[in-house]
Amino acid sequence: MVDSEEDGCARVHHENPSPSHGPWVNRTIRTRLWIILDKAAKDHTSVDLQDLLLRLTFDNICGLTFGKDPRLCPSIYPKTLSRTHSILQPATLQRLLYPGFLWRLKKILHVGAERRLRKSLQVVENYMTEALDARKETPSDDLLSRFMKKRDIDGNLFPNTVLKRIALNFVLAGRDTSSVALSWFFWLVMNTTRVEEKIIREISAVLQETRGKDTQKWIEEPLTFDEADRLIYLKAALAETLRLYPSVPEDFKYVVSDDVLPDGTALPSGSTVTYSIYSVGRMKSIWGEDCLEFKPERWLSAGGDRFEPPKDGYKFVAFNGGPRTCLGKDLAYLQMKSVVSAVLLRYRLSLVPGHRVEQKMSLTLFMKNGLKVYLKPRQLVAPPKAAVSA
Ligand code: HEM
């Protein structure tokens, strides 16, 4: 048996973040993203989109998980959790890359990455304790409050330690993944005018139906859930981005008890299996000769009117597969569609000349140097009725 967590703890929290959490996303778009981008466009200054998106999705995931007013997050973010996060990731990666005895020795001696890791975990622990105490005083509709009411299979409420791990799991799982996916998406779209035009046409067609011909009304408010739900081509472009640039480029599983893979490989209990999600997305045998091309169309039905992922759920594993598929998948698509529409409907993006877009070796597929762009206001036109479908 192969599992993704040694103690199987994550299995108790199959609570799906529902679309009703969309308001958090729209609030941060209105109160933060548009203000920053409008100013940059007006002043002709560049913006590091990856950095901005990391902050934005952090605010969203805080709102979703703790019900905290996201305006609190930027003040806490740079000083504590963000710095902590940049320590957690390399330290975890080292544990995966180097022989077990090495990091265990460092842990015992309290040196190097293990020392930084322990300090950072304490910061996270304090933050989670504060958040939990606050929710106990004033429960709300956030995920933490929901889990506080839930009971385990024996009918007991979850203890604080488990609640904190659940909350942390959501924050870690939901923050970087969506923002790096969005960064790669914007970069791909900047380089593929044909796809950008189709995306704008699709969003415009939907908004013309829901908000009328006055294009000013299209950019006054972020998308509603129903409007976002209708964006089939955009979903295909996001899935295509995740195929080529999966936010989690490789994943690993622990072997809980002796097992054998379908190809006959024996897996002794206690070993770790690592697999490359990045490579699965770029295999000719799965995606064909054009596997390295950015082609959202491969995700559409023959008529082009439906999103159609591969029938075999293990061919596209950017969200993992099987019973442990990402719990935030639908929310992630919703959030990404809202942010893309909020940005692309208002602006045309161009890469800052000389800026190098490179991958960073990390548990998350960051852009090493960020994504520095200039923004120019976009002139929107209402499409003729016949061009409604993308
Ligand atoms: C583009 C965005 C995202 C990608 C690519 C992604 C990818 C993944 C992957 C690969 C896993 C499996 C990890 C493993 O094997 O241990 C996972 C698990 C998970 N994700 Fe996501 N994720 C995304 C967004 C989100 C968001 C926004 C949330 C929360 C709102 C979230 C919550 C979770 C949770 C709770 C799990 C653990 C599920 C379990 O173990 O049963 N994810 N995600």
Angle between helices 160-190 and 49-66 (to 10 degrees): 150
Mean pLDDT to the nearest integer, 361-386 = 88
Distance between Cα 260 and ligand 1 center (Å):
26
Give yes or no for residue 274 CB within 6 A of ligand 1: no
ipTM of the complex: 0.98
Give yes or no for residue 2 CB within 6 A of ligand 1: no
Give yes or no for residue 181 CB within 6 A of ligand 1: yes
* Substitution site in 59, 142, 170, 326 for ligand 1 pocket (most atoms within 8 Å of beta carbon): 326
32-46, 66-80, 150-164, 165-179: the lowest-pLDDT one? 66-80
- The average confidence (pLDDT) of the chain is 85
- Model confidence pLDDT, tens digit, residues 191-246: 999 999 999 999 999 999 999 999 999 999 999 999 999 999 999 999 999 999 99
| pLDDT for the residue numbered 88 | 66
Give yes or no for residue 183 CB within 6 A of ligand 1: no
